Structures are given as structure tokens and as C-alpha cells.
Structure 1
Amino acid sequence: MKLKKVLAFAMDIGEGMLISGAGVSRVEDTITRICLAYGAKKADVFSITSSIVTSIEDADGEILTQTKRIRHYKTDFKKLDEFNQLSRYMCRDLPNEKEVKQRIQKIKTGRINSFTEEVLTSAAIATAWTIFYGGGIAEGAIAILIGGAVTVLSRYLSKLTPNEMVLNFLLSFFVAALAYLSARFGITKDYGKIIIGNIMLLVPGVAFVNALRDMIGGDMMSGILRVCESVLLAVFLAAGSFMALVFLGGVWQ
């Protein structure tokens, strides 16, 4: 396989891994190993949370460079594992261009959870967190409804909001407002547990853990960027909840 194609496939795999939740060190190592396995004399990979840049040198000294811009993330450990297994297979058996292309396409178009499954999963997670933090049956029942509604609202608001921070602000505002209104109407007394349980759906936990792992591994720039992004998302979550309570008068009671 020509190194130009190898580079393109390696970048596709790296992009898929980064979007699915891999750390940058893992992405850089994967791309490097694939390029070297197919005959590259040298491979230099630089990745941060929003970009991947790779330059390789062939046996004749020719330099090839490609850049990938990452604009969104969707944590999917199943796809991450599949991309990882494909990279290992490529390094070991050196499959041809047609096979690699088919495998990458199969992973990208693989089964995606249906919208109904996402709604039910969100409802179950929100309820579990609400009960974990001390909520009762009433709080758990309300968390089911709000958790499912958060996923439904997220799908439509994501098309209208300019970025994830504004989206998280609106979703947390919605969560806090519904939780507080349920208390105002006497359905529950402890709306705080409901807010916490549903906010856990939006907390960027994977991104924050990856940030710490990147910094420990020496990728300070990527780690700092991820930490800043996670902190800003958390601030917008808190601000959305606070503004809902201020607007409805819950803060002053």
C-alpha cells in the first residue's frame, strides 16, 4: 500500500479514536505505529483535543503531511475498541487498501444506539444517581421523566446552539426549573437531589479524566486544554441551574 494511503487511513483511525474518547498519547502512538509498520522511515504526530497533525518520511526522503480538525466528540468505547483492534491488525498483518477501507467504513457506520434506547438509558442513569444521592421514590420517579426529557431536548437544541457550553447551560436550566417546579407543586420536597442526579448526565467526566491522564503522560498542552474545557462546561452547568432557581425564586427561600 502506498504511504499516502497509509497516512490517510491512519489519520481516519486516529480521528475516530479521539472522537470516541481516547487520550491524545494513545492516538499519537497508534498513528505512529501504523505508519512505521507500512514502511515509513519516520513519523511525527502531534495531537490536541481539536486537531491531529502527522508528518511522515518515506525511504526516499519525501515528506507527507496531513491534518485533521476535530469539531465534536461522542464517547463510544465500543468504537474505540474496534479502532484499536483494527490498528493492531494493520500493524501485525499489513492488510491491503481495500480491506482497510472496508473495515474503517464498517466501524464508522456500525450499529448506533437508537434514540429510544438513549432516552431510556438517560432516564435510568438519572434515576440511579438521584437515589444514590439520597432521593426517595418520588424523586426517582421525577428524575426518570426529566432524564428522558434531557436527551430529547438535547437532540433538538444541539442544532440551534452555537456550542456545547450554551447547550449545557440551557439543559441545566431546564433540569433545575423542572425539579424546582415539582417541589412547588408539592410532588417532592427535596428537589436538590433531582437536580444533582440529572446534572450527572451532563458532567464531562471522561474529558476530565483524559485531561489528567494526558498531563501525567507529559502531554501538558492537551491536558490543560481539556481541563479548561471541562471546567468551563462545569461552570455553565452550575450557572444554568443557578439562573433557573433565581428566575423561579428558589434561591431566596
Structure 2
Amino acid sequence: MTDLLENEEKIKDVVMLAARILLEAGAEGTRVEDTMTYISSACGYKSSNSFVTNTVITYLLHNGTHPRIYRIQTRDTNLIRISETNRVSRHIVEGKITLDEAWDKLKYINERIDDHPLPFKAFAGGMVGLSFLYLQGGLLIDVPTAILAGGIGYFITEYLSQKIEAQFIPEFIGSFIIALLAAFGHMLVPSGELSIIIISAVMPIVPGVLITNAIQDMFGGHMLMSITKLLEALVTAFGIGAGVATVLIFL
């Protein structure tokens, strides 16, 4: 009996850690719940139940055991963690690793696999701004401004997101800085297109992944999670627009 209880607790630990990593890394609710179900079924518990929202994971292994609840504090986009956690889940289902090995691998993913360095992400943000400048038919003379505004704006947004607990403020400040840099670059080179520069430079901080996940959750029947994500994306977009509008008003 004691061994059975210990095994159940180990299953709960593995399932909850996998779900936590996925949700904190920006995975959609459908993926998280499916992963929890797959692991439980592979361990012999096909009647498990799970319910996931943006901020809470609820899990019940079976009706005769205590449920687990975990509150999600931070969320980001980290596709590496999602991919590695999915790999661990598949290996459990295929019987290639034990629960102890899965636990060690998940702990490694959670503690050791970090995102790319912030300067590298800022550089990538500048390249995203350059790409959208090209897609919108921007002028060659606007390239330096779009790269600098996109890279610096993304750097500031990500840095503030790590330091400030409040949501949407980093996006407001980041878009404000982006609009300032774009306006300053346009003043130095007035032959460019200010609107195209601003639109291109704010693209790296637009919540595109959040909107995509909300649509996927809607198709998967997770209406509550879909609505909350859409609202979060809407308010984030409002913060970005407010930051840009604040600069444009005073030009």
C-alpha cells in the first residue's frame, strides 16, 4: 500500500512539473492537458482529470486520491523548453525512460535550460523590425532606424518584464521608447516613412504567440483559457498603442 501511494505521488510530481514547464513556457492549454493525460495513461491511470487556465493547473490522478493545484506566477515564450518537455513526455509514453529518469530530465529542463541571452534577443528583435520594414515596402534609408528602434525597444520591454511584476507596463514603456527612437530617426532623415518605421519596430513586442495560442485553445474547446488569453493580448496591444500614441501626440 505504501509503495502504491509513493508511486502515485511520484506520478503526480512528474505530471505537475511537466505541466508547469509547458504553461510557463507559453504552451497552449490543449497541449498541457494532453501531455498530462498521456503521462497518466502511460502509468496506468486512464481516468485522470486535469484543468488548466492561464494561471492555475489542477490535476486529479484518480477519484481516490488528493488533487494537486499549482499557481503559475510567470509566463514567457520558450519553445526550447516546450520541445524538450514534449520529448520527455513521448519517451514516458513509449516506455523508454522511468519516472525517476523523467523527473531528473524535467528538473534539468526547468532549472538549467534557459532562454537566449537578452542581448541576442534584442539583436533578433532588430532583425524582426528589419523584416517587417521590407514586407511593408519601407525605404532603404529607414533600415538603421528600424533596426535600432526594434532592438532597443525589445531589450527595454524584456528587461522591464523581468524587473516589474505589473503587466502591460513594460510594453507601454517599450513602445514609447520605440516611437521616440523612430521619431528621432525620422527627424534626422525626414525623407523616410515614420508610420512604417514605427509599425515595423513594434512588431517584436506584439503578443503574436499569445493570440495564436488563444485561437488554438478556442478550436480545442478551452473557451475560458481562450477568452482570458485574448483579453490579455488585447490589453497588451492597447498598452503598445498607448505608448506610441503618447509620443505621436506631442510631435
* Common fold by TM > 0.5: yes
Residues 180 and 247, structure 2, Cα contact 8 Å, conserved in 1: yes
| Pick aligned residue for 2:16 from 7, 11, 22 | 11
Q: Which amino acid aligns with 2:170?
A: L
Identity of aligned residues (%): 26
TM-score by length of 2: 0.90
Q: Which amino acid aligns with 1:206?
A: V
In structure 2, the CA distance between the partners of 1:100 and 1:183, relative to structure 1 (3 Å rule), is same
Q: What whole-Å deviation, never above 9, does each CA across 1:40-96 have from its counterpart, x for those lacking one?
A: 363110001111100122xxx631211121222221222211111111111221733
**3-state secondary structure, aligned to 2:216:** helix
In structure 2, the CA distance between the partners of 1:134 and 1:115, relative to structure 1 (3 Å rule), is same
Aligned length: 245
Distance 2:217 2:201 in 1: 28
| Pick aligned residue for 1:90 from 86, 89, 92 | 92
116-125 or 218-227: which moved more? Answer: 116-125
In structure 2, the CA distance between the partners of 1:152 and 1:216, relative to structure 1 (3 Å rule), is closer
**3-state secondary structure, aligned to 1:45:** strand
Distance 1:207 1:95 in 2: 32
Distance 1:8 1:160 in 2: 29
Distance 1:130 1:76 in 2: 25
Q: Which amino acid aligns with 1:19?
A: E
Distance 1:43 1:111 in 2: 31
In structure 2, the CA distance between the partners of 1:186 and 1:92, relative to structure 1 (3 Å rule), is closer
| Pick aligned residue for 1:137 from 132, 137, 140 | 140
**3-state secondary structure, aligned to 1:134:** coil
Residues 3 and 39, structure 1, Cα contact 8 Å, conserved in 2: no
Residues 3 and 38, structure 1, Cα contact 8 Å, conserved in 2: no
Q: Which amino acid aligns with 2:242?
A: A
RMSD (Å), alpha carbons: 1.9
Distance 1:46 1:32 in 2: 11
Residues 3 and 35, structure 1, Cα contact 8 Å, conserved in 2: no
Residue of structure 1 in register with 2:3 after alignment: none
1:68 aligns with 2:73: no
229-238 or 13-22: which moved more? Answer: 13-22
Offset at residue 133 of structure 1 (A):
1.2
77-86 or 166-175: which moved more? Answer: 77-86
Structure 1: give runs of 5+ residues left out of the alignment: none
Q: What whole-Å deviation, never above 9, does each CA across 1:191-238 have from its counterpart, x for those lacking one?
A: 111110111111111111111111122111111111111111111111
In structure 2, the CA distance between the partners of 1:23 and 1:111, relative to structure 1 (3 Å rule), is closer
Q: Which amino acid aligns with 1:75?
A: T
Distance 1:174 1:96 in 2: 50
